[in-house]
Amino acid sequence: METMAKDGAAQEATVTPNKDVSEDNLKGYTVIYVLGGPGSGKSTQCAKIATYFGFCHLSVGDLLEAEVETRSEYGKMIEDCKKEGKLVPSDLVVKLLQQAMQRSQNKKFVIDGFPRNEENRAAAESFMKIEPDFVLFLDCSEEEMKRRLLNRNQGRVDDNISTIQKRLKVYFECTLPVINYYSAEGNVRKIDAERSPEEVFEAIKDVFFELKEKHGETRMTL
Ligand SMILES: Nc1ncnc2c1ncn2[C@@H]1O[C@H](COP(=O)(O)OP(=O)(O)OP(=O)(O)O)[C@@H](O)[C@H]1O
Ligand SMILES: O=c1ccn([C@@H]2O[C@H](COP(=O)(O)O)[C@@H](O)[C@H]2O)c(=O)[nH]1
Ligand SMILES: [Mg+2]
């Protein structure tokens, strides 16, 4: 049986990143990571940020789904990870993310649900040469996250109580340390995500406007 690595990643499939893509880097881009537990509202808020501030919204979960639809060699492994609430190996995730960024005409990205573990974070920094302008942390209670996921009704294979428990475990054990890493660098903006979607977005807008004022147009082009 397949085991789960300490960092929540499935222990299989090593992907060699596409050389043409890996040789370029993404310096000069505005990158905001949006992190939080499963069901904390990351995708809901990223969509609002994209519309309001003109960012390109990249959800790694959606990029992985799209990869499955291309019937690629990684399809089964990705589907198995999703069903089990495990993380897909970093090299594949980073490759998909990097390709999506390079294909976009936009240079401002709001990245939804990545990096999920320390290996993801290090791969993004060393391979793509990207560091986030800041990290939005959507802070929500476990009880509320579970309630939202069980009511999502979008037909996701991972919205069942057994997979939700596994995703929560990965979140607490692997993703929270990443948030703490950025927090220690003073780069996390924590948002109370327990409120209504509209109230959460108002708080997010305040963060964007504050940072724009602080850094001016050079770092944050809104
Ligand atoms: N602030 C909120 N209050 C109540 N419900 C919300 C709120 N934000 C999002 N939702 C609802 O909760 C569900 C989960 O939201 P969403 O998909 O945005 O979470 P997520 O963090 O992206 O989850 P995942 O990690 O599974 O991708 C959706 O049905 C969404 O409509
Ligand atoms: O960086 C990532 C992001 C996602 N995954 C896998 O996809 C599912 C769904 O992701 P959502 O962001 O919740 O839509 C997640 O449970 C993982 O299996 C990943 O491996 N790495
Ligand atoms: Mg989501």
The domain spans of the chain are 30-208
Name the CATH architecture for the domain at 30-208.
Answer: 3-Layer(aba) Sandwich (3.40)
Ligand 2 atom with minimal separation from the 84 CA: 18
41 alpha carbon, closest ligand = 1
Asked if pLDDT for residue 219 goes beyond 80, the answer is: no
- Predicted complex ipTM exceeds 0.95: yes
| Interval 53-70 mean pLDDT | 96
Q: In what order do the strands lie in the sheet with 188-192?
A: 56-59, 108-112, 30-36, 134-139, 188-192
Pocket test for ligand 1, best of 35, 44, 45, 110 (most atoms within 8 A of CB): 44
> Is pLDDT above 90 for 18?
no
Q: Among 45, 74, 82, which residue has the most ligand 2 atoms within 8 Å of its CB, making it the best to mutate?
A: 82
32: nearest Cα among 61, 9, 53:
53
Nearest to 109 by CA among 33, 12, 8, 204: 33
Instruction: Compute the distance between CA of residue 116 and CA of residue 174 in angstroms, rounded to an integer.
Output: 7
Question: What is the atom index within ligand 2 of the atom nearest the CA of 115?
Answer: 1
Which ligand neighbours the alpha carbon of 62 most closely? 2
Q: Cα 184 vs. chain centroid, distance in angstroms?
A: 19
| Ligand minimally distant from the alpha carbon of residue 160 | 1
- pLDDT tens across 86-138, in order? 999 999 999 999 999 999 999 999 999 999 999 999 999 998 888 999 999 99
User: Which candidate, 41, 131, 120, 40, places its Cα nearest to that of 86?
Assistant: 120
Mean pLDDT score, 52-70: 96
Strand positions, DSSP E, the chain: 30-36, 56-59, 108-112, 134-139, 188-192
Cα–Cα distances (Å) from 86 to 10, 51, 158, 171, in that order, read 6, 30, 10, 10
**pLDDT-derived band of residue 25, with 50, 70 and 90 as boundaries?**
low
